[in-house]
Amino acid sequence: MVGSDNRLRAVVAVPLPEELCRLIETLEPRVEVVRDQDLLPPMRGPADWTGDPDFVRTPEQQAAFDALVDSADALFGAPDVDAAALARTVRANPRLRWVMTTAAGGGSTVRAAELSRAELDRVVFTTSAGVHGGTLAEFSLFAVLAGAKGLPRLLTDQRSRTWPDRWQMRQLDEMTVLIVGLGGIGAECARRFHALGAQVWGTTRSGEPVEGVDRLVPLDRLVDAVGEVDAIVITLPGTEQTHHLIGEEVLAAVKPGMILTNVGRGTVVDEAALLAALDDGRVAFAGLDVFEREPLDAASPLWDHPNVLVSPHTAALNSNEEERIARRFAENATRLLDGAELRAVVDTVEFY
């Protein structure tokens, strides 16, 4: 049982429109959604969880905000999306039992809070992982098609008003696509690529089948597999284990002309090794929504590379994202109150 009379006092710790606060209460009436919109920075656009940077609380407002989050059984969002504020709240509020981060990669905020093992065991942390699966899967499909259809060449010819001899494009239903990471995003990617006729492979640690995946590839056989595929879609989180997983060894083994897209975390790809592979044609095209360091440095060669599409970590953003995350919170609140397993729980060892 959480809270009194099997109710949950959930404090909104990041900007959330009032209608979505009411939606959570409607979806799960046992949740009391506590919020003070005057203490939260205004959003500048969809899913702007940090809000207007010019917003500054007075000392009195900060004290009121701290008191509010310190009264919670659960938090919608890490306070101000700030690791230090999260750590302060966990330590000041012994009744806190659950925090849902609004980011799919919220495990990084939990890691940065540097909580003790006892604190990590006392509070359940969940993320919005999976909520963005559809939008990121569409970007992945777009990026692979852009490479298959020669988007850079088309744009170059169009800008120079060149009408070349006809040239051949690749067809998706004749391609094998390897999805590196079959979590929520990877599963959505598999479903879309399979529907369009591609042969879909996917890496796995569990060995469990995934709908739309024709072949499961053990992660330790990745180097062997990449030489047989036409495109690689990366959806993995950023952890110590995934850091530079797609590096020199993997990229040396790929089939020449391979297409790559990354919608997971930028640290999974060694950008220096990727640039070398792009330069010598091992990788024909890369559509990247994430990078090792963000914002991408203005001096990065990726900006100007003719066969790279740079997306500023925006492929997940959608006008319905806030509502989907609010619905996820309500669903997990129901699970918590009913004693069921929550969705997208942060692994507090690897923090994903």
Active site residues: 265, 294, 313
The two structure tokens encoding residue 323: 């509502």
- Classify each residue of 182-198 as buried b or exposed e, where b means 16 or more C-beta atoms within 10 Å of its C-beta: bbbbbbbbbbbbbeeeb
- HEC profile for 127-186? CCCCCCHHHHHHHHHHHHHHHHCCHHHHHHHHHCCCCCCCCCCCCHHHCEEEEECCCHHH
SS3 (DSSP) at 220: helix
- Contact between residue 25 and residue 33 where contact means Cβ atoms under 8 Å apart: yes
CA dist., res. 190 & res. 178, Å (int): 9
Extract long-range pairs of 64-70: CB within 8 Å, 24+ residues apart: 64/36, 64/39, 65/36, 65/39, 66/92, 68/11, 68/34, 68/36, 68/39, 69/11, 69/13, 69/93
- Contact between residue 185 and residue 263 where contact means Cβ atoms under 8 Å apart: yes
**CA proximity to 217, closest of 256, 171, 250:** 250
CA dist., res. 80 & res. 61, Å (int): 14
Provide the residue type at 352 as one letter: Y
269 burial (CB, 10 Å; 0-12 / 13-18 / 19+) is buried
Provide the residue type at 159 as one letter: R
CA dist., res. 117 & res. 7, Å (int): 27
The two structure tokens encoding residue 199: 């042969």
Place of tokens 């980011």: 103
